[in-house]
Amino acid sequence: MLKDKIVLITGSSQGIGKAIALKFSSSGAKIALNDIESQEENLKRTKEEIEKAGGHAKYFFADVSKFEETEKMIQEVQKEFGGLDVLVNNAGIVQDRTLAKMTSEEWQRVIDINLTGVFNSTKAALPLIIQSRGKIINISSIVGLKGNFGQANYAAAKAGIIGFTKSLSKEVGRFGVTVNAVAPGFIETRLTENLSEEMKVAIKNFTSLGRFGKPEEVASLIAFLASKEADFITGEVITIDGGLAV
Ligand code: NAP
Task: Categorize the per-residue pLDDT at 209 as very low, low, confident or very high, splitting at 50, 70 and 90.
Answer: very high
Global pTM value:
0.98
| Per-residue model confidence as pLDDT tens digits over 223-238 | 999 999 999 999 999 9
Task: Categorize the per-residue pLDDT at 1 as very low, low, confident or very high, splitting at 50, 70 and 90.
Answer: confident
Measured in Å, residue 243 CA sits from the centre of ligand 1 at 22
Name the E strands within 41-142.
56-61, 86-89, 135-139
- Cβ of 187 closer than 6 Å to ligand 1, yes or no, is yes
Task: Give the active site residue among 154, 164, 186, 212.
Answer: 154
Using an 8 Å Cβ cutoff, are 171 and 226 in contact? Answer: no
- Cβ of 212 closer than 6 Å to ligand 1, yes or no, is no
CA distances from 151 to 145, 195, 222 (A): 12, 13, 25
The DSSP bridge pattern shows strands 56-61 and 86-89 to be: unpaired
Measured in Å, residue 219 CA sits from the centre of ligand 1 at 14
Q: Which atom of ligand 1 is nearest to the CA of 213?
A: 40
Measured in Å, residue 13 CA sits from the centre of ligand 1 at 9
Asked about 154 being catalytic, the answer comes back as: yes
The C-alpha angle 61, 103, 123, rounded to 5 degrees, equals 35
Report the residue among 191, 203, 222 best suited for mutation to probe ligand 1: largest number of ligand atoms under 8 A from its CB: 191
Question: How far apart (Å, rounded) are the C-alpha atoms in residues 236 and 89?
Answer: 15
Task: Categorize the per-residue pLDDT at 199 as very low, low, confident or very high, splitting at 50, 70 and 90.
Answer: very high
- The SS3 assignment for 56 reads strand
Question: How far apart (Å, rounded) are the C-alpha atoms in residues 9 and 90?
Answer: 6
Give the rounded percent of residues in the chain with a pLDDT score beyond 90.
99
CA distances from 235 to 62, 98, 226 (A): 27, 31, 13
Instruction: For the chain, give the number of residues.
Output: 246
| Per-residue model confidence as pLDDT tens digits over 11-26 | 999 999 999 999 999 9
Predicted confidence at residue 220, as pLDDT, reads 98
Measured in Å, residue 92 CA sits from the centre of ligand 1 at 4
| Per-residue model confidence as pLDDT tens digits over 152-196 | 999 999 999 999 999 999 999 999 999 999 999 999 999 999 899
| Per-residue model confidence as pLDDT tens digits over 101-153 | 999 999 999 999 999 999 999 999 999 999 999 999 999 999 999 999 999 99
Question: How far apart (Å, rounded) are the C-alpha atoms in residues 224 and 233?
Answer: 11
How many angstroms separate the first and last alpha carbons of the chain? Answer: 31
Annotated domain spans of the chain: 6-238
Question: How far apart (Å, rounded) are the C-alpha atoms in residues 141 and 115?
Answer: 12
Q: Which residues pair with 60 in a beta bridge?
A: 34
- The SS3 assignment for 141 reads coil
Name the E strands within 108-214.
135-139, 178-184
| Per-residue model confidence as pLDDT tens digits over 38-69 | 999 999 999 999 999 999 999 999 999 999 99
Domain made up of 6-238: CATH architecture: 3-Layer(aba) Sandwich (3.40)
Question: How far apart (Å, rounded) are the C-alpha atoms in residues 9 and 128?
Answer: 15
1-13 mean pLDDT? 96
- Cβ of 10 closer than 6 Å to ligand 1, yes or no, is yes
